[in-house]
A = this chain, B = another copy of it.
Amino acid sequence: MKMRFFWLLSTIIIVTSAIAAQAADPLSSWNDTASKKAIITFVEKVTIPGSPDYVPPAERIAVFDNDGTLWSEQPLYFQFYFAIDRVKELSANHPEWKTQHPFQAVLEGDMKALATSGKKGLVELIMATHAGMTTDEFADIVTDWVKTARHPALNRPYTSLVFQPMLELLAYLRAKFFKTYIVSGGGIEFMRPWTEAVYGIPPEQVVGSSIVTTFEMRDGKPVLVREPKVNFIDDKEGKPVGINSHIGRRPIAAFGNSDGDLQMLQWTMAGQGARLALLVHHTDGKREWAYDRESHIGRLDKALDEAQAKGWTVVDMKNDWKQIYPDR
């Protein structure tokens, strides 16, 4: 009897401890594979006082790409769907778009014709939908769109297509006094209206591409007007430039998923002391999308080679992540 009671008590203690340990796991959507270990090893190295790799909190800068790293990006960048939705909405005031490339292709849903419009067509589309209003007006338009728009294939809000394991990683780093930044090729003002609610990243920690804005007085009220002219492209070689301009410190950790992030990872890893470079490899065709070297969106080719050569962490989405999107 005494023995059985002891056994029962032991079992209760073991089970309770296991539950507590699991509840306390800040990366509970990550399987216990090499990627998770690499993250935790790095974070402990730079945060435990007395560690030879200790980094003071003010210098714990972590930079995250957005498209394909924090949320999905297939079959098209979500900002592109925003542009498409805007063209449809604005077309009532633009009857000429019915026969004008690339607007005609958008209105007819002809993605093949749209693809042939190339970079020039894309820029035209962006300018027609992202410029010609004040910054406050644009923020309202984005806020409304994020609330109501649905991904065409999955019929879910775009902001529900964020990666649960990455949300946990952001929270884990912030709990360890990291400052988490987005450094994305996407539009800086397209992201800022919702990144705080979705990722816990405030507007001043969002770096992205931008168009020219100019200060104007309208009816005695100062406004910033969005002009149809590219100001800065925060992609590839632009990412370290954007980091330097906005943050002015070299990050100690960088997270990306494509060749567009290669220079950001190189720039991060070239600093002194312990560093972490991580690539999200989209290997899960069932739960998300599987693509890499041949993809037009989020191509991962050169950066994958460099990651393998230099021993950077490569997340295998299919095997490293228990869950892709947050529970609804």
CB neighbours (8 Å) of A270 from chain B are: 221-222
A192 to chain B, nearest CB (A): 5
A187-230 vs B: 1/0 string, CB under 8 Å? 01100100000000011101000100111000001101000000
| Copies of chain A in the complex | 2
A239 to chain B, nearest CB (A): 8
CB neighbours (8 Å) of A204 from chain B are: 179, 204, 246-249
A54 to chain B, nearest CB (A): 19
Q: Which of B58, B202, B246 contacts A202 (CB 8 A)?
A: B58
A9 to chain B, nearest CB (A): 47
Q: Which of B210, B221, B244, B247 contacts A224 (CB 8 A)?
A: B244
- B213 & A241 in contact (Cβ 8 Å cutoff): yes
CB neighbours (8 Å) of A238 from chain B are: 215
- A214 & B237 in contact (Cβ 8 Å cutoff): yes
CB neighbours (8 Å) of A244 from chain B are: 135, 213, 224
CB neighbours (8 Å) of A215 from chain B are: 237-238, 240-241, 263, 267
Question: Which of A210, A245, A266 gathers most chain B CB within 10 Å?
Answer: A245
Chain A interface residues (CB < 8 Å from chain B)? 58, 135, 179, 188-189, 192, 202-204, 206, 210, 213-215, 221-222, 224, 237-238, 240-241, 244-249, 263, 266-267, 270
A-B contact pairs, 25 of them (CB 8 A): A135-B244, A179-B204, A188-B245, A192-B248, A203-B247, A203-B248, A204-B204, A204-B249, A206-B248, A210-B245, A213-B245, A214-B241, A215-B237, A215-B238, A215-B240, A215-B241, A215-B263, A221-B270, A222-B263, A222-B266, A222-B267, A222-B270, A224-B240, A224-B241, A224-B267
Q: Closest 8 interchain pairs by CB? A: A203-B248, A215-B237, A222-B266, A192-B248, A204-B247, A215-B240, A222-B267, A222-B270
